[in-house]
Amino acid sequence: MRRNITLKPHNTFGLDVMAAYVASISDLRGLEQLRKSGVWQSERRVVLGGGSNCLFMDDYFEGLVILMNNKGVSVQDLGNGRVCVSAAAGEDWTSFVQRMVAAGYSGVENLSMIPGKVGAAPIQNIGAYGVELKDVFHKLHAFDTQTGQLVDFESKDCEFAYRSSIFKTTFKGRFIILSVDFILQTTYQPNLNYGAIRLELEHMGVVIPGIQDVSTAISNIRRSKLPDPMQIGNAGSFFKNPVVHELVFHDLQREFRGIAGFPEKDKTVKLAAGWLIEQAGWKGKRVGDVGVHQQQALVLVNYGNATGRDIFSFAMEIQQSVREKFGIQLEPEVNFI
């Protein structure tokens, strides 16, 4: 365990936050030992994967940061064109997807290039390009910090929802995910209906797309649309896309021409939070070292020396202005620590 360590390399906002204690966990034994330590008992704790969905609020985290660094991927053939792949929480998500794509296992290719680690993927049921983690999820293996027991969670236990799960709500902070099992296919059924995937494949000159083509197309689109945290600090979408009843959407449509809505189940409609933020006049706006990205209104950026509080205050101003203009409450997707 190390003391007074900067978390700058461990959060994609690039915030220079100091942590009182940092422990890197590479196996269960290390975690069990850590649980017996005095630091575990007396300090506030947070688990970090890649820190790509976190906002540290203070310059000093007076507690224990647990960095998940356990590794390992194993594959079990289930027959009938299906495999069960088990991946350790500390595996890098993008490398894991690349590995599955290279092996010809389909299911996660639309989730290419999402930053972070495998263990965090279930926390907010990561999603992109028409696929969510829950679509390929089998079960996960977790450490209960309250009892010290190991527990398996199946899909039905996880309460997966749009950018949410039981680990972000009822059980927030209680379980440390150690590994995740996925069911993937050895035959390929492309899912190209979302965004500009078909257009990008056309640009690439691909007529009959394979798994690798779709992964490459999505990676190309993401590179062109989203700021790279290595170049400019950010945590991807700062807010979730709000979901409203269709009657609310119809009222909004009458008042605001061009408002985009995507029908969901139970007579609800998902609105594009980025559009609302842009219409409220925030796209490209900068105050000090915090700003809304020039191309992506849903992405807040740290131009260099912003603090967690600066980013938080800026986000709250955006939230208030969208509420005043549209009567819609934006909910943060990012985890505040």
The residues assigned a catalytic role are: 163, 237, 333
Distance between CA atoms of residues 183 and 103, nearest Å = 14
Token reading at 237: 């979408």
**In this structure, are residues 94 and 53 in contact, taking their beta carbons and an 8 Å threshold?**
no
> What are the φ and ψ backbone dihedral angles of 270, each rounded to 5 degrees?
-90, 125
**DSSP single-letter state for residue 92:** B
**In this structure, are residues 71 and 181 in contact, taking their beta carbons and an 8 Å threshold?**
no
Closer residue to ligand FAD (CB): 61 or 249: 61
Token reading at 34: 């850590």
Closer residue to ligand FAD (CB): 208 or 230: 230
Neighbour tally for 256: CB within 10 Å = 13
Cα dihedral 3, 147, 120, 70 in deg (nearest 10): 60
Closer residue to ligand FAD (CB): 98 or 335: 335
Of 275, 313, 289, which Cα lies nearest the Cα of 57? 313
Query: Contacting ligand FAD (CB under 6 A), which of 46, 100, 218, 248?
Result: 46
117 belongs to the binding site for ligand FAD (CB under 6 A)? yes
Query: Contacting ligand FAD (CB under 6 A), which of 236, 261, 274, 308?
Result: 236
Contact region for ligand FAD (CB under 6 A) — 116-124, 190-198, 267-275, 283-291? 116-124
Closer residue to ligand FAD (CB): 125 or 307: 125
Query: Contacting ligand FAD (CB under 6 A), which of 128, 184, 276, 315?
Result: 128
**In this structure, are residues 198 and 165 in contact, taking their beta carbons and an 8 Å threshold?**
no
Query: Contacting ligand FAD (CB under 6 A), which of 52, 110, 165, 216?
Result: 52
Query: Contacting ligand FAD (CB under 6 A), which of 14, 107, 119, 308?
Result: 119
The CB-of-128 to ligand FAD minimum distance in angstroms stands at: 4
Cα dihedral 25, 26, 31, 37 in deg (nearest 10): -60
Query: Contacting ligand FAD (CB under 6 A), which of 235, 243, 300, 330?
Result: 235
Contact region for ligand FAD (CB under 6 A) — 48-56, 100-108, 284-292, 320-328? 48-56
Query: Contacting ligand FAD (CB under 6 A), which of 5, 47, 87, 297?
Result: 47
β-pair partners for 183: 84
140 belongs to the binding site for ligand FAD (CB under 6 A)? no
The CB-of-186 to ligand FAD minimum distance in angstroms stands at: 25
Contact region for ligand FAD (CB under 6 A) — 75-83, 96-104, 115-123, 195-203? 115-123
The CB-of-137 to ligand FAD minimum distance in angstroms stands at: 13
Of 122, 110, 115, 102, which Cα lies nearest the Cα of 181? 122
274 belongs to the binding site for ligand FAD (CB under 6 A)? no
Q: Which residue is it, tokens 């990676």?
A: 219
54 belongs to the binding site for ligand FAD (CB under 6 A)? yes
Distance between CA atoms of residues 82 and 182, nearest Å = 10
Query: DSSP alpha helices (H): ranges in the chain?
Result: 28-36, 38-42, 93-103, 155-158, 197-203, 211-225, 246-255, 273-279, 308-326
Residues that bind ligand FAD (CB under 6 A): 12, 46-54, 68, 89, 114-117, 119-121, 123-124, 126-128, 176-177, 226, 229, 234-236, 335
